[in-house]
Structure 1
Amino acid sequence: MAGKIWVSLLLWLGLGASAQSIPDKAFVWSAINKANAYWQLNNKPELWAFWDVAAYHTGNMEAFAVTGDQSYLAYSEQWASYNKWMGARSKNKQEWKYKYGEKQDYVLFGDWQICFQTYIDLYNIKPEAYKIERAKEVMEYQMSTPGSDYWWWADGLYMVMPVMTKMYKLTGNKLYLDKLHEYFSYANSIMYDQKTGLYYRDAKYVYPKHKSINGKKDFWARGDGWVFAGLAKVLMDLPADDPHRDVYLSKFKGLAKSIVKSQQSEGYWTRSMLDKDHAPGPETSGTAFFTYGLFWGINNGILKEKDYLPAALKGWKYLSEVALQSDGRIGYVQPIGEKAIPGQVVDEKSTAGFGVGAFLLAACELYRFLNYK
């Protein structure tokens, strides 16, 4: 029966592909564990709670949810404990800042708040008040301020939007949803490009103030990947009757439509999405976030399989055959930055925790897709 379902699916999609186009469930399972085991064997959990590390843990928690591997859970628990279940650790609210900063007084900066996603997930597995105490303190203080401009860069939408919906589910405090919409509205006002349906990384990159080497609009793949994946996570937890649900749905669907248009034939997305010559060649983190979002949208009935499954499968083909190395390393991850950089070398040795986290998100969502079938 399963074989007939896959044959029918392939014919319906009109892919003209062989049965090998549909990933084997056992292979996807193996890829999840291979990539995650490599990362954890080569990176201790005692690292800071800033975004680059914390983004990995959002993927690790998905790997735990899919595999049930207790070592994955223990790794994130050890990391959270090392960081005292906090982001930035300043206790003086008068000095808390939210523009870019890596010091301990940038408590309101989203890159220090993404860790709360994992702390909340860990709390939901084993509820203990201390795990979410700092998250509640920080987010409730932030919401008490008159500012709306907390999310001024695309990455921040992944870092913090899911914190808001997770905290709402936990507390029932509707202010989390109200502020989610308020902050998201500000982000849209400065970063969203109506014509393309894509997001600039931040206001510095809005066309024509900034252009790609060929004079085009420059949309950074990882930046739009953060937004696309962040919206998926928001929609996952957002109440069905939220008055602003259609806003998030519209942006998610619009992004999906724009994203598939710029996919390269090899399955990846270039760092500058609309100018492949700006920084040519494959890049994994943006590709993985896009692949995750596409599979998530299909799995949740938001995106039509016939329209989006081919792109999702092509993304996975790149991730599993090019990005995933024989030893489990995830390669071709653009280093920490905020834009596509002409001439920057990104190759099979280029890896980073946030790229591994994105890969795990994509692989886990694909595994769920295969289970649904």
Structure 2
Amino acid sequence: MNTLSLRTLLIALPALFTLSGCTTPDSQPDQPLPDPDAVLEKLTRANDYWQEENPEPGWAFWEHAAYHTGNMEAYFVTGDQDYLDYSLRWGERNDWMGAKSDQPSEWKYSYGETDEFVLFGDWQICFQTYIDLYEITGDREKIERALEVMEYQMATDASDYWWWADGLYMVMPVMTKLYQVTGDELYLEKLHEYFTYAKSIMYDEETGLFFRDAKYVYPEHKSLNGRKDFWARGDGWVFAGLAKVLEDLPENHKHRDEYLGIYRKMADTLAQAQQPGGYWTRSLLDPEHAPGYETSGTAFFTYGYLWGINNGELDRDTYLPVALKSWEYLSETALKDSGMVGYIQPIGERAIPDQVVDADSTANFGVGAFLLAASEMYRLVEQ
């Protein structure tokens, strides 16, 4: 079964039967949904603008790769060949690789932007798109480097590969996608091993949220008002990453309930932190720390909610109002008439008081997050 038809089947499943603890479409509230054509127009407006303004594919590092995860979802729902070709050109330009060192003895996984940091997750997120393109084309060249790198990594004794929250989005879906390609259970075992380490240093049991990394754990680090400081985009990476994992993980897998429980607890906490305007502030539980609109975290959360609703993993009555409110912010405030997506916090790792984030603040990874959200919204309303 090809990728597009598989995704279509997965979207349809919740309408066919009731999953435990979840609502069916028959029990949804009487709430108006966006018009499908309007959603599609906003999706294409944003993506066409980005590709027209950025005709040359960039390098394979995380910020470009995160955009391409959204571009591929835009392709899956639109079938637009230009979108597919854009990601194909990007993969070809980067030789279907992340970091390019061919000496495993020098491979590292601390932060690094040069070619020896092959095991650093910011260089591995590109594999998500390469795998999607392999599924479409059948060209195994597109995943040979991904297989080489991840098989080498899994053969090591280290478990501390994911030491920052962003890494959970960057690499968890790579491992479930490669499991889907190969059938090798080791991908799922190592995924759980690495995730367990990440939880041990970043996870907050009380809220169900993740600190960005060990530097920001409470009470050693606090927000301006002395609260736990959870960075919106950091938790956005995790929430969206868990949705992607759950999409590809077998229904009966022994660790599925653990991932699903964390995902649902995050959904509950995040719903309580949403601002009246539909967005989330950069410090989730201390809005005064860095007030105002922020699009990247909001878009990842919107995607995560909509994926859960579409796939029967989140209660529709409870969370559809959250997703509709955040989509209204994304589509009416963040998205300009030109197609630019604004209010995206620049590259960083925390909520920074007094940092300027305005209507002209845009970035590739934030556009990718917007496309993820728009694609899931389209799947919701086209049914």
Task: Give the TM-score of the pair, scaled to structure 2.
Answer: 0.92
Counterpart Cα distance in 2 of 1:135 and 1:160: 11
Q: Does 1:25 align with 2:73?
A: no
Contact 2:289 2:351 in 1 (8 A): yes
Tell me the CA shift for residue 240 of structure 1. 1.3
- Of 355, 359, 365 in structure 1, the residue corresponding to residue 366 of structure 2 is 355
Deviation sequence 1:301-354 (CA, Å, 0-9, x none):
010111000000000000000000110000000000000000000000000000
Counterpart Cα distance in 2 of 1:302 and 1:240: 11
Tell me the CA shift for residue 14 of structure 1. 6.9
Q: Does 1:344 align with 2:355?
A: yes
Gaps of 5+ in 1: 1-8
Contact 2:341 2:362 in 1 (8 A): yes
Report the equivalent of 1:262: 273
> Which amino acid is the alignment partner of residue 90 of structure 2?
W
Counterpart Cα distance in 2 of 1:104 and 1:194: 36
Q: Does 1:119 align with 2:130?
A: yes
Report the equivalent of 1:107: 118
Deviation sequence 1:61-93 (CA, Å, 0-9, x none):
000000000000000000000000000000000
Report the equivalent of 1:179: 190
Q: SS of 1:199's equivalent?
A: coil
Contact 1:45 1:76 in 2 (8 A): no
- Of 316, 324, 331 in structure 1, the residue corresponding to residue 327 of structure 2 is 316
Map of 1:91-240 to 2, 5 A cutoff?
91-240=102-251
Contact 1:98 1:108 in 2 (8 A): yes
Deviation sequence 1:188-237 (CA, Å, 0-9, x none):
11100001111000000000111101111000000000000000000000
Report the equivalent of 1:4: none
Tell me the CA shift for residue 242 of structure 1. 1.2
Tell me the CA shift for residue 112 of structure 1. 0.1
Report the equivalent of 1:325: 336
Counterpart Cα distance in 1 of 2:166 and 2:230: 13
- Of 284, 290, 303 in structure 2, the residue corresponding to residue 279 of structure 1 is 290
Q: SS of 2:377's equivalent?
A: helix
Tell me the CA shift for residue 11 of structure 1. 11
What is the CA RMSD across the aligned residues, in angstroms? 1.3
Counterpart Cα distance in 1 of 2:71 and 2:57: 15
Counterpart Cα distance in 2 of 1:82 and 1:48: 8
Counterpart Cα distance in 1 of 2:127 and 2:265: 28
Counterpart Cα distance in 1 of 2:173 and 2:56: 23
Counterpart Cα distance in 1 of 2:122 and 2:150: 13
> Which amino acid is the alignment partner of residue 300 of structure 1?
N
> Which amino acid is the alignment partner of residue 278 of structure 1?
H
Counterpart Cα distance in 1 of 2:243 and 2:337: 30
Counterpart Cα distance in 1 of 2:342 and 2:271: 22
> Which amino acid is the alignment partner of residue 202 of structure 2?
M
> Which amino acid is the alignment partner of residue 116 of structure 1?
F
Tell me the CA shift for residue 168 of structure 1. 0.3
Tell me the CA shift for residue 371 of structure 1. 1.9
Tell me the CA shift for residue 40 of structure 1. 0.2
Counterpart Cα distance in 2 of 1:301 and 1:316: 19
Report the equivalent of 2:18: none
> Which amino acid is the alignment partner of residue 276 of structure 2?
S
Tell me the CA shift for residue 293 of structure 1. 0.4
Task: Give the TM-score of the pair, scaled to structure 1.
Answer: 0.95
